[in-house]
């Protein structure tokens, strides 16, 4: 517990990983670096099979690493699997996987009981309150819950044991927009408490645009970008060019050579613009739209570079 | 370990309840059918040890529960030891269900005259009690041995189409030789062994002998489950979930 106290005061990252490497027969995690600081919501994006879940499993000490180091709440992830130190740290981590990870025959009330046995800081009162607010019947069996309801139950569990860190793997998948907003509000409230943070993998990038402070993207087991969300959505832009305009932009040098990212369409070329305000001043005739995380991912992962 | 045990017991609680009720029902029906109360506690002990093992690992596979459980404040070691605790608990539950069914039936048989010779054959005579305890001892060893084979394999490989055959194969491994020896009179060909077995049975038929056999069975069950747990610990540590 003293390590935990020193983490809060020292402002050390809640998650700190360097060079994470893990080899499987058909996939490798290759030198993944990742940090999550206090008060942050970090969005973790990438295509299916890019390595998000493997990275999360590695960070939770659920898989042995072939290389690299990772610390979570100040403790080496290799120690999470053993002894009282690991147990003490895991008390402070709320985890939600992409499915409701509870045997299907259990009822919602039983799920609370299972967690009460597991977590010394379990708040049955908070769990009951969340179950009510989420509209989950306590007598309903897990197997009878819809995917969205199942995810709400998982979130209720993660939020009911006084965790400092939430690690969510596709937690908002399957939720309707209203429910997603409700969850996002809870996550915002969660990180407002000092010492808290969230690492959240998601394919729903519009959710991350609403709440993430930083966005990491993984592709083929490598981190391809790690940027402040505002840098993407507030500063960057996507210029809709015709071919001649694209050549003019390239020749102007406003975007450094070999950093000119573009994507060709039948009707023109989309161009990634690092500073859309400066670009608009220099090329007032070329329309520039706001950049979304989806656009940025598409241009980064599938676009050409010149 | 206590945490993991309690988590596991909470998960398996409903199943254990159903199994307990089913066990009493099966015990009653089998006793009436066989016109004997001797085998029931043993059969249920063995059945519960095996069913507990299968059910525990089946739940691990459901919805990635085995993986999610490791995000809780329990280690892999806790999970393994908790599982063996649950298996032992279910074995005891089976024994309890068997004895309850047997005693209930004997009481009924003592009060209500049953057709044929049932009332006398279902009575709690000293011979019946001794035979019951001895069969329970033998079945405890068989059930523990099957559980000891199954559990490490499930911890390493999970429940797959291939590993689902293991309980049946291991039961046959124990029952097969007995059936073959009984059918062929095989032991009679080895005079020394046959004499020793006869001597052993004569001892077991005494009250001290039957208590000794139960004590030995418990010790043997503990030893084989302990060895199995040590193997499971090593295998589960290496498993990629």
CA of B61: which chain A residue's CA is closest?
A: A103
Inter-chain contact A62–B241, Cβ cutoff 8 Å? yes
Average pLDDT rounded to a whole number, residues B136-152: 92
Distance separating alpha carbons of residues A138 and A293, to the nearest angstrom: 38
Which residues of chain B lie closer than 8 angstroms to A142, CB-CB? 63
Q: How far apart are CA B104 and CA B126, in angstroms?
A: 17
Q: Hey, is the C-beta of A1 within 8 angstroms of any chain B C-beta?
A: no
pLDDT for residue A152 is more than 70? yes
For residues B239 and A117, the model is more confident at: A117
Using CA atoms, how far apart are residues B52 and B48, in angstroms rounded to an integer?
6
- Residue B42: closest CA among B132, B115, B102, B128: B132
Token pair for A143: 């197997």
The residue among A82, A78, A68 whose CA lies nearest residue A17 is: A68
Question: B76 and chain A: CB distance < 8 Å anywhere?
Answer: yes
Task: Report yes or no: A243 at the B interface, CB cutoff 8 Å.
Answer: no
Share of chain A above pLDDT 70, in %: 97
Q: What is the pLDDT of residue B220?
A: 95
* B73/A86 CB distance under 8 A: yes
In chain A, where are the structural domains located?
2-230, 236-305
pLDDT tens-digit map of A26-50 = 899 999 999 999 999 999 999 888 8
Angle between helices B126-157 and B40-61 (to 10 degrees): 20
Domain, as residue range, for B59: 2-238
pLDDT tens digit sequence for B83-94? 999 999 999 999
Count of H helices and E strands in chain A?
12, 15
ipTM for the whole complex? 0.87
Chains A and B form CB pairs within 8 A to the count of 78
B11 in reach of chain A (CB within 8 A): yes
The CATH code belonging to domain A2-230 is 3.40.50.300
Average of per-residue pLDDT values in chain B: 86
B67, A104: Cβ pair inside 8 Å? no
Q: Is the pLDDT of residue A138 over 80?
A: yes
Using a pLDDT cut of 90, give the percent of chain B over it.
37
Please report residues of A whose CB lies closer than 8 A to that of B236: none
CA distances from A262 to A233, A255, B148 (A): 17, 12, 61
Give B42's Cβ-side CA count (13 Å radius): 21
Res B11: pLDDT: 94
Q: What beta strand segments (E) does A116-196 contain? A: 165-169
| Contact in structure between B79 and B4 (CB atoms under 8 Å) | yes
Q: In this predicted structure, what is the pLDDT of residue B158?
A: 86
Q: Is residue A83 within 8 angstroms of chain B, CB to CB?
A: yes
Sorting pLDDT into bands at 50, 70 and 90, what band is B188? Answer: low
> At residue A261, what are phi and psi to the nearest 5 degrees?
-100, 135
Residues of A in contact with B240 (CB under 8 A): 63
Does B75 contact A82 at a Cβ distance shorter than 8 Å?
yes
Print burial letters for A23-35: b (CB count within 10 Å at least 16), e (below 16). Answer: eeeeebbbebebb
The pLDDT assigned to B197 comes to 77
Structure tokens at B115: 């057709």
State the pLDDT at residue B128: 85
Closest approach of A112 to chain B, Cα-based (Å) = 10
- Asked if B18 reaches chain A (Cβ–Cβ under 8 Å), the answer is no
Q: Is B212 exposed, middle or buried (0-12, 13-18, 19+ CB in 10 A)?
A: middle
Residue B193, pLDDT > 60, answer yes
- B64 and A CB contact within 8 Å: yes
Q: DSSP readout, A35-70? A: EE-TT-EEEEEE-TTSSHHHHHHHHTTSS--SEEEE
Structural domain total, chain B: 1
Q: What is the pLDDT of residue B189?
A: 67
Residue A301 CA to its chain's centroid (Å): 18
**Torsional sign, CA B171, B176, B182, B183:** positive
Q: Residue A255 in contact with residue A194, Cβ under 8 Å?
A: no
For B221-225, the CB contacts below 8 A with 24+ separation are B221/B91, B221/B140, B221/B141, B221/B143, B221/B144, B224/B141, B224/B144, B224/B145, B224/B148, B225/B84, B225/B87, B225/B88, B225/B144, B225/B147, B225/B148
- Cα–Cα dist A232/A210, whole Å: 13
Measured CA to CA, the distance from residue B119 to residue B125 in angstroms comes to 12
Q: Hey, which residues does A290 pair with through a beta bridge?
A: A237
The answer to whether the CB atoms of A91 and B64 lie below 8 A apart is no
Q: Mutate one of B73, B234, B237, B239 to test the A interface: name it (highest A CB count within 10 A).
A: B73
A106 Cβ under 8 Å from any chain B Cβ: yes
DSSP lists the bridge partners of residue A261 as A305
- Mutation pick from A88, A102, A109 vs chain B, by most beta carbons of B within 10 Å, is A102
Q: What is the pLDDT of residue A2?
A: 43
Show the tokens assigned to B135: 């069969």
With CA atoms as reference, the chain B residue closest to A166 would be: B71
pLDDT of residue A264 exceeding 50, the answer is: yes
Determine whether the interchain pair B72/A90 forms a contact, defined as Cβ–Cβ distance below 8 Å. yes
pLDDT average, residue stretch A101-120: 94
Confidence tier at B187 by pLDDT (50, 70, 90): low
- A1: pLDDT confidence band, cut at 50, 70 and 90? very low
Pairing mode, strands A93-96 and A165-169: parallel
Model pTM score: 0.85
CB contacts, 8 Å: A100 with chain B: 63
* Candidates A83, A101, A114; nearest CB to B75: A83
- Cβ(A165)–Cβ(A196) below 8 Å: yes
Residue A97, min C-alpha distance to chain B (Å):
8
A254: alpha, beta or left? (left if phi > 0; alpha if psi -120 to 50):
alpha
Is A306's pLDDT higher than 90?
Answer: no
Closest to B7 measured CA to CA, from A159, A157, A111, A137: A111
Cross-chain Cβ contact B11/A103 below 8 Å: yes
Q: What is the mean pLDDT of residues A256-283?
A: 88
Question: Are the Cβ atoms of A114 and B10 closer than 8 angstroms?
Answer: yes
Residue among B13, B64, B77 minimizing CB distance to A101: B64
Residue owning tokens 């499987």: A24
Residues 159-218 of B with CB under 8 A from A: none
Q: What is the CA radius of gyration of chain B?
A: 20
Among the partner residues B11, B62, B73, nearest to A91 by beta-carbon distance: B73
Closest-CA residue in chain A for B79? A81
Residue of A nearest to B59 (CA): A103
Q: Which residue has the higher pLDDT, A116 or B40?
A: A116
- Chain-wide mean pLDDT for chain A? 89
Nearest CA in chain B to A92: B73
A155 at interface of B, judged by CB pairs closer than 8 A: no
With 50 as the cut, is the pLDDT of residue A6 above it? no
Out of A271-275, B32-36, B37-41, B137-141, which region has the weakest mean confidence (pLDDT)? B32-36
């Amino acid at each position: 517990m003293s390590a935990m106290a020193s983490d809060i005061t020292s402002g050390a990252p809640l998650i700190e990983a360097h060079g994470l490497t893990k080899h499987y027969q058909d996939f490798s995690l290759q030198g993944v670096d990742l940090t999550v600081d206090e008060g942050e919501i970090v969005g973790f994006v990438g295509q299916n099979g890019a390595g998000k879940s493997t990275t999360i499993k590695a960070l939770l000490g659920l898989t042995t690493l072939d290389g690299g180091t990772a610390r979570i709440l100040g403790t080496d992830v290799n120690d999470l699997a053993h002894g009282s130190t690991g147990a003490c740290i895991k008390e402070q981590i709320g985890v939600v996987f992409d499915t409701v990870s509870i045997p299907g025959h259990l009822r919602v009330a039983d799920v609370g009981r299972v967690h009460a046995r597991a977590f010394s800081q379990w708040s049955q009162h908070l769990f009951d309150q969340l179950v009510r607010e989420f509209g989950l019947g306590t007598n309903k069996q897990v197997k009878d819950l819809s995917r969205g309801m199942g995810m709400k139950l998982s979130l209720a569990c993660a939020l009911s044991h006084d965790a400092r860190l939430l690690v969510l793997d596709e937690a908002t998948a399957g939720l309707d927009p209203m429910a997603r907003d409700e969850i996002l509000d809870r996550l915002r409230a969660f990180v407002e408490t000092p010492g808290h943070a969230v690492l959240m993998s998601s394919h729903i990038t519009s959710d991350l645009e609403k709440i993430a402070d930083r966005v990491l993207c993984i592709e083929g087991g490598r981190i391809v970008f790690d940027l402040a969300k505002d840098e993407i959505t507030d500063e960057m832009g996507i210029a809709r060019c015709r071919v001649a305009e694209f050549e003019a932009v390239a020749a102007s040098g406003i975007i450094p050579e070999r950093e000119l990212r573009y994507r060709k369409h039948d009707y023109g070329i989309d161009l990634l613009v690092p500073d859309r305000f400066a670009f608009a001043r220099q090329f007032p005739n070329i329309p520039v739209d706001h950049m979304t995380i989806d656009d940025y991912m598409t241009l980064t992962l599938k676009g050409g570079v010149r | 370990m206590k945490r993991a045990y309690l988590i596991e017991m909470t998960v398996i609680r409903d199943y254990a309840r159903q199994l307990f009720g089913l066990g009493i029902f099966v015990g009653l029906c089998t006793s009436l059918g066989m016109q004997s109360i001797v085998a029931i506690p043993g059969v249920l002990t063995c059945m519960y040890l095996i069913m507990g093992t299968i059910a525990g690992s089946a739940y691990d596979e459901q919805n990635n529960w085995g993986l999610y459980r490791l995000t809780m404040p329990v280690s892999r070691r806790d999970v393994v030891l908790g599982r063996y605790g649950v298996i032992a608990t279910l074995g005891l539950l089976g024994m309890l269900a068997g004895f309850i069914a047997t005693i209930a039936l004997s009481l009924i048989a003592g009060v209500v005259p049953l057709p044929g010779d049932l009332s006398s054959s279902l009575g709690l005579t000293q011979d019946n009690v001794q035979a019951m305890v001895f069969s329970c001892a033998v079945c405890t060893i068989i059930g523990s041995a099957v559980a000891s084979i199954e559990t490490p394999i499930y911890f390493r490989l999970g429940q797959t189409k291939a590993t689902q055959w293991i309980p049946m194969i291991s039961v046959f491994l124990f029952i097969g030789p007995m059936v073959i020896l009984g059918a062929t009179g095989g032991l009679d060909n080895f005079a020394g062994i046959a004499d020793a077995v006869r001597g052993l049975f004569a001892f077991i038929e005494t009250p001290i002998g039957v208590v000794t056999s139960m004590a030995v069975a418990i010790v043997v069950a503990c030893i084989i489950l302990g060895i199995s747990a040590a193997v499971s610990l090593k295998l589960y540590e290496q498993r990629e979930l």
